[in-house]
Structure 1
Amino acid sequence: MNTILNLGHLVVIQGSFAEKLLDLARNALGADEMIPYLGPGLLRLSSAEPSVPCTPEAIAAALNSRAPAPSKIRTNMWSVAQFIEQRRHRRTLQAWMAEIFAAPAAPTVLHTWLARLPLSLIIDSWYDSAMRTTLAEAGRTDVVEIQGVTRANEFGDIWTKAYDLSGTELEPGSAAKTVLYTPHGSIRPAANFLVADSDYVEVLTEIDLQTPIPDVVKERRTYRGLFFVGCRFNDQMLRTFARQIMKRSKGPHYAVMDAAILTKNERRFLAASAITVIDMPLGEAAARLVGSGTAVDGGQDFR
């Protein structure tokens, strides 16, 4: 089927049109004209049951197993984390998040492919560190990771910290050929997590002014579009961060998503942000991007 759908001004591309658009995105990524924006759904390419949670709801469940939260907030990761911080202290929340993400997340074929590209900027919106691990395993020495950090443990106007791939903390403002930006933090190298509501209070107050976003990210997005893969935007927090990170970027923007399961809020966000949906299973999209002849799903190939 070859279809271009318009769902309330949301452009959804299917069939051979989607394949052609994905080819354009692959060429743009290879030419460093597009920024990959990685979401937790990407982890399912390596395993149907990843070693770490791959949704906010799964993190909420893991935290609930350690300290049951009130039923009205039990499925909301940010609220459950806030409940734990208030009742058990920040150190406990930090330790439990480190436990939850302690197991190494297996890099996917897409991580491996991206690690070989001459990308100026990669955005990883999850805590698992698979992209960082893949870059290190590829022998890359020209990468700086900039992580969002909670203000709970800091004094002064600190929004991010920078690290090289060996885990050494670098001076603020450090840059390299490739910047890996993890706006919500990451398990490695220092277990930085923005996860509780309180972590985001000051960030969301300032983010419309772009203050928490590193200057190098603002600079490198200017002449590029964003390519969202493995992402959902079914929570206001996720939509807000994506909107502000892509602010003042040139475009075009694409997202590999299942159009059938999009919520009304996701459709509104995608349409308002001029993000074109490539309606294709993630495994098929990953295979086409990396040049494989078979789709990737749960660590298995299928024809």
Structure 2
Amino acid sequence: MSETMTTTETKDYSELIETIKKEIRNQTTVPYFGLGIFKGITTKEGEQMPFDSDSMILMMNNGRAMSPRLMFEYSRAAMHLEQRRGVDYIQQMTNWIYTKEFEPTPLHKAILNMSPRFIIDTNRDAKLQEMLAFEPHTLIIGKSRILDNDYRYEIYEWDVENKKYFQVDEEALDDAQKIIFKPMGAPLPEPSFVISDADYVDWLTEAMGGFAVPSVLKTYRKTKKYLFMGTYFDRDTDRMVANELTHDLEGGYFISDQELGKKEKKFVEKHNLELIEMSLEAFTEAFI
């Protein structure tokens, strides 16, 4: 066993985890969900939910691996499928994946119990929305390849009585008590996803111009910390998305028990993130 692994296993994060819980409750740390929260989560039919790039590709391609070049990153694989079968096909495929029934993850439940005002969820499911069906909330859905304007989001409020979303202007965020930001899309209120290389290029281009985050949130997020749960920063795409969503951050926390690559270390250091050297499973157990 390596010296690094021994250190990882014996380090006590209990005090830090309690601090993070307090920071989420007092709105100074923003929860940030990534794909890895679905590791070990299966649908009602017993299928594994995609929890990393490889499992996402397998789900998109009917369980079959693709060439090494395409297996490098799921957005590249999605682009290949889009080129072969069209935009509608990959959007419908993504909707099919994320409308499968599954139970909320322990982290979904724990985070909502702490009542944060603002949650960033880069996954493409609607589980948080389903869990908030009896509570007023404001939803921001990320969009790509919109032809009539530069903005890469739409804003909705949830009508609890009638159980439906209605589109609102950005001013609605001023007094919103709970904001769910789904920058990569979701099945609700209507299926729309940022999934292929072309989607990401468009979204990131406009994000860098300031058009992917509402101005109210640009003010609100200043000096916030972020708790990155189930995120991977070994690919440029995920790092670039996180960078655009967390401008002006104070710092935060990154959970990983894997040895970080050079680019990951640089990202963690640049964003002043504290590395919590635990598996997400171990962190979840300690967190809940």
Shorter-chain TM-score: which interval? 0.7 to 0.9
Aligned residue in 2 for 1:160:
153
User: In the alignment, is residue 268 of structure 1 matched against residue 261 of structure 2?
Assistant: no
The answer on whether the counterparts of 1:107 and 1:133 sit within 8 Å (CA) in structure 2 is no
After TM superposition, the score normalised by the length of structure 2 is 0.85
Aligned residue in 2 for 1:180:
180
In the aligned structure 1, how far is the partner of 2:39 from the partner of 2:284? 12
Q: Which moved more, 1:237-246 or 1:78-87?
A: 78-87
CA gap of 1:288–1:39, structure 2 versus 1, over 3 A, is same
User: In the alignment, is residue 147 of structure 1 matched against residue 130 of structure 2?
Assistant: no
- Pairing partner for 1:121 from 118, 121, 132: 118
In the aligned structure 2, how far is the partner of 1:277 from the partner of 1:50? 31
Larger RCO (CA under 8 A, 6+ residues apart):
1
Aligned residue in 2 for 1:29:
24
The answer on whether the counterparts of 2:76 and 2:196 sit within 8 Å (CA) in structure 1 is yes
In the aligned structure 2, how far is the partner of 1:271 from the partner of 1:88? 41
In the aligned structure 2, how far is the partner of 1:71 from the partner of 1:229? 27
Q: Deviations over 1:167-190 (max 9, x none)?
A: 423123132111111111123331
Give how far 1:54 is off: 1.6
Give how far 1:200 is off: 1.9
Aligned residue in 1 for 2:168:
171
What secondary structure, in the 3-state scheme, does the structure 2 residue paired with 1:123 have? Answer: strand
Aligned residue in 1 for 2:11:
15
Q: Partner letter of residue 84 of structure 1?
A: L
Q: Deviations over 1:57-95 (max 9, x none)?
A: 222222233898655224421112112222211111111
The answer on whether the counterparts of 1:39 and 1:125 sit within 8 Å (CA) in structure 2 is yes
Give how far 1:117 is off: 2.7
What secondary structure, in the 3-state scheme, does the structure 1 residue paired with 2:132 have? Answer: helix
User: In the alignment, is residue 254 of structure 1 matched against residue 249 of structure 2?
Assistant: no
User: In the alignment, is residue 53 of structure 1 matched against residue 55 of structure 2?
Assistant: no
Structure 2 unmatched ranges of 5 or more = none
The answer on whether the counterparts of 1:101 and 1:127 sit within 8 Å (CA) in structure 2 is yes
In the aligned structure 2, how far is the partner of 1:51 from the partner of 1:67? 14
The alignment covers a number of residue pairs equal to 274
In the aligned structure 2, how far is the partner of 1:68 from the partner of 1:172? 43
The answer on whether the counterparts of 2:98 and 2:126 sit within 8 Å (CA) in structure 1 is no
After TM superposition, the score normalised by the length of structure 1 is 0.81
Q: Partner letter of residue 256 of structure 2?
A: M
In the aligned structure 1, how far is the partner of 2:268 from the partner of 2:47? 27
CA gap of 1:28–1:202, structure 2 versus 1, over 3 A, is same
Q: Partner letter of residue 283 of structure 1?
A: E
The answer on whether the counterparts of 2:151 and 2:211 sit within 8 Å (CA) in structure 1 is no
CA gap of 1:13–1:162, structure 2 versus 1, over 3 A, is farther
Give how far 1:195 is off: 0.7
**Pairwise CA RMSD of aligned residues?**
2.7
- Pairing partner for 1:282 from 276, 280, 283: 280
In the aligned structure 1, how far is the partner of 2:10 from the partner of 2:33? 21
Map residues 162-241 of structure 1 onto 2, 5 A cutoff. 162-165=155-158, 166-173=163-170, 174-175=172-173, 176-241=176-241
Q: Deviations over 1:99-143 (max 9, x none)?
A: 22221232122211222333221000111222222222xx222x1
Structure 1 unmatched ranges of 5 or more = 6-11, 291-303
The answer on whether the counterparts of 2:39 and 2:50 sit within 8 Å (CA) in structure 1 is no
The answer on whether the counterparts of 2:21 and 2:114 sit within 8 Å (CA) in structure 1 is no
CA gap of 1:182–1:163, structure 2 versus 1, over 3 A, is same
